[in-house]
Structure 1
Amino acid sequence: MAPKTNAQLVAEFHSFIPYVQSLETLDVTLWENPIRDGKWSLKELLCHMMRWDQYFYEEAFAKVKEGQPVTAKHLNFSEFNARAIEYAQTVTVQEVIRQFVLYRGLIVAEMTDICDEDFMRTYKDGDGKTFSCRGHLRGFLPHDKHHKKQMEQYIQSQAVTKS
C-alpha cells in the first residue's frame, strides 16, 4: 500500500470533526458515563483530544504561522490528561464539541492549501526535537483511530443494551 499523500492525511484528520458533530444528539447520560469500568466517559475522551489539539495549535501551528519558534514540548502525558479530565467536569457536552471543532478546524486550516514542501518542513520544538505537519498527523492519526474505535464500540454496546 502506497504511503498516504499529505492531502489524504489532512482529510483523515479533518474527518473527526463531522464524526464528533454526529454524536451531539446522543443522550447526555451516554456522554457522562464511563465507556467501560475504569475508563473515561465520551465527554472526557473528547476533552482529552480537544486539549491536545488546543496545545499543539497554540504551541506549534500558530507559532509556525506567525513565524515564531515552536514551543511545544514533550509533556508528562499523565499530568496533561488528568488536567483534561478535570476540565471535562467544568464544561457541557455542547461546549466540548464546539471547542473540539474549533481547535481541530484551526489545525486543519493551517495544513490545507500549503505546498508539500511546507507540509514536510521541520521545525525545532521546545525540546529541540523536530516538528512537522506530516509528523504531527502521523503521530496523532493512530491516536484518533484508537479513541474513535473505543467510542464506536461503546455507542454500539449502548444501542444493543437499550433495545
Structure 2
Amino acid sequence: MILLGEETLIQYKTFVKWTDTLRDLDDHLWSSPIAEGKASPADIISHLQNWDHYLIHKVIPAVRKGEGMVFPDFDSFNKQAYEYARSGVSKTRLLDEFKQTRLQLVDLLLAEPDVAAKPVPANGLAYCPHTNTPYSLLYIIHEFREHDIHHKHQILSVI
C-alpha cells in the first residue's frame, strides 16, 4: 500500500530515530560486512545518505524546473558511497551527515507538496512498470522507505 503525502514523508523521517541507535554499535560491527561480499553498516548508511543527497541536489531542482527525474547507474553511484564510508570518516560524523541530509530532504518536500506530488518521469518512464503508478517524488520516497526497511533488516541480522 502506498501512503499519501505527509504520512509517507513522516515515516521516511522517523528512520533517523532507528539509525541513531547505531551510535552505540561496536566499531568492529560498524565496519564489518553484514555477510560475505556484502556492505557493512557504515557502507549502508553512507549509501542511504548519498541517495538522499542526490534527491536534494539533483532530483528536486530538476522537478522544480519541470524536468524528469534522472537516476545514475546504481552500481557506480553506490560504489562512491562505500568508498566514502571506508575513507576514515567516523561513525558519529557519518550518522550525523545521514540524519542532517534526511531531515533536510523531508523538510524540503513538506515545504513544497506540489513539487513532491507532481507526476514526472523517472529515467524516461512515466509509470512504475511494477505498479503502474505515476512516478513522483512521493512515489520515489515510498520506494526508498521500503529500501530503508530492507537495509534495516540486513543490519539487524548481524547485531
Same fold (TM over 0.5): yes
Q: Which residue of 2 aligns with 1:141?
A: 145
The number of equivalent residue pairs is 150
TM-score (normalised: structure 1): 0.80
3-state SS of the aligned residue for 2:8? helix
Are 1:94 and 2:98 counterparts? no
- Structure-2 separation of matches of 1:61 and 1:128: 16
Distance 1:47 1:5, change over 3 A: same
Cα 1:122–1:129 change in 2 (3 A) is same
Flag the 1:31–1:108 CA change in 2: closer, same or farther, 3 A.
Answer: same
What stretches of structure 2 of length at least 5 have no aligned partner? 127-134
Q: Distance in 2 between matches of 1:28 and 1:71?
A: 40
2: CA distance, partners of 1:44 / 1:3: 28
Verify the 8 A CA contact 1:55 1:72 in the aligned structure 2: no
Q: What does the per-residue CA deviation read over 1:135-160, in whole Å, with 9 as the maximum and x for residues that have no partner?
A: 111221111111011111111xxxxx
TM-score by length of 2: 0.81
- Structure 1 gaps, min length 5: 156-163
Q: Does 1:81 align with 2:78?
A: yes
- Distance, in Å, in 2 between the alignment partners of 1:152 and 1:48 is 17
Q: CA RMSD in A?
A: 2.2
Q: 1:75 to 1:114 in 2, by over 3 A?
A: closer
